[in-house]
Amino acid sequence: MRRLGVVVPALFIAFGLLGLVLGSTAQPAAAKDDQHTVEIVSARGVINPSLAHYLVRSIDQAERDGAVAIVVEMDTPGGLDTSMREIIQRVLASRVPVVVYVGPPGSRAASAGMYITYAAHVSAMAPNTNIGSATPVAMGDGGEQQMSPEMRAKVTNDAVAYVRALAGERGRNADWAEQAVREGVNVTAQEAARLHIVDLYATTIDDLLRQLDGRTVKTAGGDVTLQTADAQAIRYDMGVVDEFLHVISDPTIAYILLSLGTMGLFFELSNPGSILPGVVGGICLLLGFYALGTLPVNYAGLMLMGFAMLLFVVDIFTPTHGVLTGGGLIAFALGSLLLFNVPGAEVWVGLSLWTILSVTLTMAVFFLLVARLVARSQHAKVTTGREGLIGLQGRARTDLAPDGMVFVDGALWEATSQDGPLPKGARVEVVGLDGLHLFVRAAAVKQDSQPVSAASH
């Protein structure tokens, strides 16, 4: 019953998460005028696969709904090149005008966000926003790493050609876009509108829709004249699942999930039957692997962390006084340093040294405590089952010459005395057993011993 009380909540957790993942992430459709609808979605945070999938699905939905336009409200520090290109490819193929609005005030469209802004059919910025800083960088375990002149030239020229192509397609300032890539320049909303980096400067979404009205844009389906002055604006927020997957795709959170999963499974393996730590650890580990799948990962670092897990598990079954656990912690720390050390990764993809030290120290304390508990349990005296009878005291119910009957642990047992004949009523101590047959000897009388339960006749 005790285990059942642990299993049931664990199953509820597992099936609850599974239901969220399998459930539809699309928001319920609101009542709207099919002829004059503008759908608004948000692109906030790092541009990664989960955000890319969300935006692609949103454009698909806008096409099915026959929306006048879809407005992407953007605030991003940048993101993955692959996710950025996935979004841009969908924007270029869209039959519904895609409007990128860098807002609300205080937002930015940096790095990959700048490319997406350039790809939009119409681009706009809110007050106190900025755009630019699109210089390619490489990250390592100590932060930004220097690329060779040849590699930097290759990467930079590729980025310049890409953004100039987008600028030419939309008729925007290609020279400034090249500066943003080569020199990392950044401008405010007012300056961006003046330099024709973006098309409009709009204080609010309503102001944006007013300025869009009557504007003609070229989409994959042909020229479209926007009619947004009296359009009904409907906001579609990111679903719970999309939001959750986007959050855990952060490198630090993915790293912590992997660490928690490792500790949970280790605890379950070292204490079979705990169940809940194993379930929670397995879920954390799977979510961590999902998050790693959305990030640029150095597989050498990942294999080092996997090797560390193997050493932790082996140390449970072949105790080495902490040698394998110590080696596992070293492998885990080295794997952490290498995990996101990938050429071409952006600034946000990486782990701080303090994060690595904190997590590794926490795991060291955890594994040392668990290892100590395991060692203690292995050397502890057995107190249950037949083996638990050894050391217990009782009384002889018949003469032991040397065989007879004894009363131990509330039951009668056949017994053999190893001290020679013992009289009926003698105090005995169990020293061994063979099946249901006990081997006893005369017990030393202890001053503080409690009376032994036995019949008086």
| CATH code assigned at 406 | 2.40.50.140
State the amino acid at position 383 in one-letter form: T
Query: Cα dist. 249→18, 27, 269 in Å?
Result: 18, 22, 28
Lookup result for tokens 């336009």: 69
pLDDT at 185: 94
In which band, very low, low, confident or very high, does the pLDDT at 319 lie, cut at 50, 70 and 90?
low
Last residue of a domain, one of 333, 361, 379: 379
pLDDT reading at 3 higher than 80:
no
DSSP 28: P
Does residue 276 or residue 371 have the better pLDDT? 276
Last residue of a domain, one of 213, 242, 271: 242
Do 55 and 185 fall into the same domain? yes
Alpha helices by DSSP H, listed for 201-298, are 205-212, 240-248, 251-270, 276-293
In which band, very low, low, confident or very high, does the pLDDT at 34 lie, cut at 50, 70 and 90?
very low
Q: Which of 65-69, 426-430, 448-452 has the lowest mean pLDDT?
A: 448-452
Do 329 and 420 fall into the same domain? no
Query: Cα dist. 405→30, 402, 410 in Å?
Result: 84, 10, 13
Residue 2 lies inside a defined structural domain of this protein: no
End-to-end CA distance of the chain: 40
In which band, very low, low, confident or very high, does the pLDDT at 21 lie, cut at 50, 70 and 90?
very low
Do 120 and 190 fall into the same domain? yes
In which band, very low, low, confident or very high, does the pLDDT at 90 lie, cut at 50, 70 and 90?
very high
Do 360 and 322 fall into the same domain? yes
Residue 433 lies inside a defined structural domain of this protein: yes
Rank 222-236, 389-403, 429-443 by mean pLDDT and report only the highest.
222-236
pLDDT reading at 454 higher than 50:
no
Do 151 and 229 fall into the same domain? yes
Q: Is 111 a catalytic residue?
A: yes
Do 306 and 198 fall into the same domain? no
Last residue of a domain, one of 226, 242, 258: 242
Residues 442 and 419: their CA atoms lie apart, in Å, by 7
Do 237 and 261 fall into the same domain? no
The parent domain of residue 289 ranges over 250-379
Do 166 and 303 fall into the same domain? no
Residues 133 and 348: their CA atoms lie apart, in Å, by 13
Q: Is 154 a catalytic residue?
A: yes
In which band, very low, low, confident or very high, does the pLDDT at 381 lie, cut at 50, 70 and 90?
low
Average pLDDT, the chain: 82
Picking from 80, 93, 77, the residue whose alpha carbon sits closest to that of residue 49 is 80
Picking from 312, 310, 318, the residue whose alpha carbon sits closest to that of residue 378 is 318
Residue 453 lies inside a defined structural domain of this protein: no
Residue 19 lies inside a defined structural domain of this protein: no
Q: What is the pTM of this model?
A: 0.66
Residue 36 lies inside a defined structural domain of this protein: yes
Q: Work out the average pLDDT over 21-44.
A: 62
pLDDT reading at 273 higher than 80:
no
pLDDT at 376: 60
Do 153 and 185 fall into the same domain? yes
Do 203 and 274 fall into the same domain? no
Do 36 and 132 fall into the same domain? yes
pLDDT at 40: 96
Q: Work out the average pLDDT over 116-132.
A: 97
Residues 139 and 142: their CA atoms lie apart, in Å, by 8
Q: What percent of the chain has pLDDT over 90?
A: 37
Residues 405 and 414: their CA atoms lie apart, in Å, by 5
pLDDT reading at 7 higher than 50:
no
Q: How many domains does the chain have?
A: 3
Work out the angle between the directed axes of helices 112-119 and 174-182 (0-180°, nearest 10): 170
Active-site hit among 42, 83, 107, 111: 111
Residue 18 lies inside a defined structural domain of this protein: no
Q: What is the CATH number of the domain that holds 183?
A: 3.90.226.10
In our burial notation (b when 16+ CB lie closer than 10 A, e otherwise), range 8-17 reads: eebeeeeeee
Do 375 and 394 fall into the same domain? no
pLDDT at 144: 45
pLDDT reading at 413 higher than 80:
yes
Alpha helices by DSSP H, listed for 339-437, are 353-379
Does residue 352 or residue 289 have the better pLDDT? 289
Rank 159-173, 260-274, 397-411, 437-451 by mean pLDDT and report only the highest.
159-173
Residue 188 lies inside a defined structural domain of this protein: yes
The neighbouring-strand residues paired with 222 are: 219
Residue 23 lies inside a defined structural domain of this protein: no
pLDDT at 378: 54
Rank 4-13, 123-132, 388-397 by mean pLDDT and report only the highest.
123-132
Q: Which of 87-96, 230-239, 346-355 has the lowest mean pLDDT?
A: 346-355
